[in-house]
Chains A and B, each alone.
Chain A
Amino acid sequence: MSRAARIVWTRWATGLSAVLLLELACRTGLVPKLAVLPPSEMITAMIALLQTDEVLGNVAQTFSTVALAFAAAVAAGFTFGTLLHGLPRARRAIDPLLASYYSVPIFVFYPLLVALFGLNILPLVAIGFLAAAPAMLIATLLGLDRVPHVLLRVARMHRLGWGRTAILVILPAALPNLFQGIKLSLAYAFIGVIAGEFILSSGGLGYSIAFAYESFDNRTMYGLMLFVLLSAVLSNALLSSWEGRLQRRRGRA
């Protein structure tokens, strides 16, 4: 077995044994059953929940909110990142702001956003956007910084126009960073939306989990929680594998 395969197998084995250990700890009463549901019951609860219209509606609401926030964040982050890259003085002025942005617990702004937009989907999109857009902006700046000057000179030598230089030279060279930004944006948008729903909202998965917790409905709570965690991990894994494929293709070319 190759080393890479051994690593993947060990990863699966570690994950599975962690789940098994939790199952054992719950079954033997080491972890109080009132506090944590055994994983097997979480899975059955999740499957049962996903067949009800109410839960599917909440899933649709949360996912569409995340999608909106994510799309807006990537578009705005990329656009402003590109603009800022062309304006060194503005960039230098904004740099300290970017460096300390993620040190501010942005969820403290969520109540303000609710007051501004009302208790609907807008403050959730806004908090997801605020969580995600700077990551895309920073990644765009780093990516554009990384474009080797020699490539730009080659492009000029071949008399490529502005648009073709951007698409054929700059974009591929900046791609690894851009991809990192896209991945982080999706994760942060998801975290932002779920946290917003959790703190204050009238619907969605985060709200349902908080509601189930408050009404001591552990089966619903753990079923939904498992679903949220699996969605986050799966979407991240999908993007990572796509990224890996792109990188391998670049390596071959």
Chain B
Amino acid sequence: MSGTSLQRPSTRWLDGLLIVVIMLAIWQALYAYAGSVALTAPWTTFQFAAELLARPTFWGHVQATLSAFAWSVLIAAIVGILMGLWLGAFRFAGDVADPMLAALYTIPKVTLYPVILLLFGLGPSAKIAFGVIHGMIPVVLFTLGAVRNIRPVLLRTARSMHLSTPQTIRFVLVPAVLPEITSGLRIGFSLCLLGVLIGEMFASQRGLGFLIINGINSHNVKLTTAVTLIIVISAVASNGALLALDRRLHRTA
């Protein structure tokens, strides 16, 4: 019996490893097909990425991206949660806004980038604003859904137990909405990063997105591939951490 329960995680690890190997093989095949004008081979890229990480100038770009990203996540989270709470508390306003927000979510927000630039000027504030317009809507939608889906029986129980308002908030409302809001924040987090990076690709002198476009313009394939790799690995890793938190909250809820 213990044999089967031990075997399962190990096959899972094996399958995971297999996926990684397959992806590296596809990468190597793409390299064989397109050659070094398009991308660099996996091993060379990892080596160059390590070299980049040892350069202080590279960390300047990382810091530019990270600080814009942190601000945009902060703003998207605070404004998004507040708006979601408000819209969720007023059923009518929520019903009016829900499909409008969903429509806003589906528009190609890249087209708005020139407007953001004209309003905020070149510099970090445009990047931050661009991250916010990408990441905020899912936070609003998930928070709105969370507030709406609070089961009335929870509130009735709180009342019958004579909980005070702060107690109701602390022990009933927050635990009830937290898992959903975390899911929204996870998606918002990814979209903020997307927004900030696109912002840097289009008009910026600093940051990882700028490095990618700069690599393209100066035919520095090594740089483009390595920076892409670094971005992908950090995005997947942070998403994995948030996903684990998300699942734990959903389980305990």
A92 with B19: CB separation less than 8 A: no
Contact string against A for B residues 174-218, beta-carbon threshold 8 Å, 1 for contact and 0 otherwise = 000000000000110110011001100110000001001101100
Total A-B residue contacts, Cβ distance less than 8 Å:
153
Number of A positions contacting B (CB below 8 A) = 53
A115 with B118: CB separation less than 8 A: no
Given contacts A11-B99, A35-B118, A199-B198, contact A105 B106 (CB under 8 A): no
A97 with B19: CB separation less than 8 A: yes
* Chain B residue contacts of A89, Cβ below 8 A: 11, 15
* The stretch of A69-77, A144-152, A161-169, A228-236 that contacts the partner chain: A228-236
* Chain B residue contacts of A229, Cβ below 8 A: 107-108, 111
* The stretch of B31-39, B76-84, B158-166 that contacts the partner chain: B31-39
Main secondary structure of the interface of B (DSSP, over half): helix
Given contacts A36-B118, A105-B198, A187-B106, contact A111 B111 (CB under 8 A): no
* Chain B residue contacts of A92, Cβ below 8 A: 12, 15
Given contacts A100-B243, A105-B194, A108-B231, contact A199 B213 (CB under 8 A): yes
**A245 to nearest B CB, angstroms?**
16
A14 with B106: CB separation less than 8 A: no
Contact string against B for A residues 169-190, beta-carbon threshold 8 Å, 1 for contact and 0 otherwise = 0000000000000010001001
B39 with A115: CB separation less than 8 A: yes
In the assembled complex, B96 has its CB within 8 A of some CB on chain A: yes
A102 with B190: CB separation less than 8 A: yes
* Chain B residue contacts of A29, Cβ below 8 A: none
* Chain B residue contacts of A233, Cβ below 8 A: 103, 106-107
Contact string against B for A residues 17-33, beta-carbon threshold 8 Å, 1 for contact and 0 otherwise = 00000000000000100
Main secondary structure of the interface of A (DSSP, over half): helix
A93→B201 CA distance, assembly (Å): 33
Given contacts A108-B231, A199-B198, contact A228 B108 (CB under 8 A): yes
Contact string against A for B residues 102-117, beta-carbon threshold 8 Å, 1 for contact and 0 otherwise = 1101111111111101
A229→B243 CA distance, assembly (Å): 32
Contact string against B for A residues 225-247, beta-carbon threshold 8 Å, 1 for contact and 0 otherwise = 10011001100110010000000
A36→B118 CA distance, assembly (Å): 8
In the assembled complex, A7 has its CB within 8 A of some CB on chain B: yes
In the assembled complex, A83 has its CB within 8 A of some CB on chain B: no
In the assembled complex, B119 has its CB within 8 A of some CB on chain A: yes
B4-58 with Cβ < 8 A to chain A:
11-12, 15-16, 18-19, 30, 34, 37-39
* Chain A residue contacts of B221, Cβ below 8 A: 115
**B124 to nearest A CB, angstroms?**
18
Given contacts A14-B100, A233-B103, contact A198 B202 (CB under 8 A): yes
In the assembled complex, A112 has its CB within 8 A of some CB on chain B: yes
A–B Cβ pairs within 8 angstroms, 30 of them: A6-B92, A7-B95, A7-B96, A31-B119, A35-B119, A36-B118, A93-B15, A94-B19, A96-B16, A100-B240, A103-B190, A103-B238, A104-B235, A107-B198, A108-B231, A111-B216, A115-B37, A187-B105, A187-B106, A190-B106, A191-B109, A198-B110, A198-B113, A206-B110, A209-B111, A210-B202, A224-B111, A225-B115, A228-B107, A232-B108
Chain A positions within 8 Å of B, measured between CB atoms, are: 6-7, 10-11, 14-15, 31, 34-36, 89, 92-94, 96-97, 99-100, 102-105, 107-109, 111-112, 114-116, 183, 187, 190-191, 194-195, 198-200, 206, 209-210, 213, 221, 224-225, 228-229, 232-233, 236-237, 240
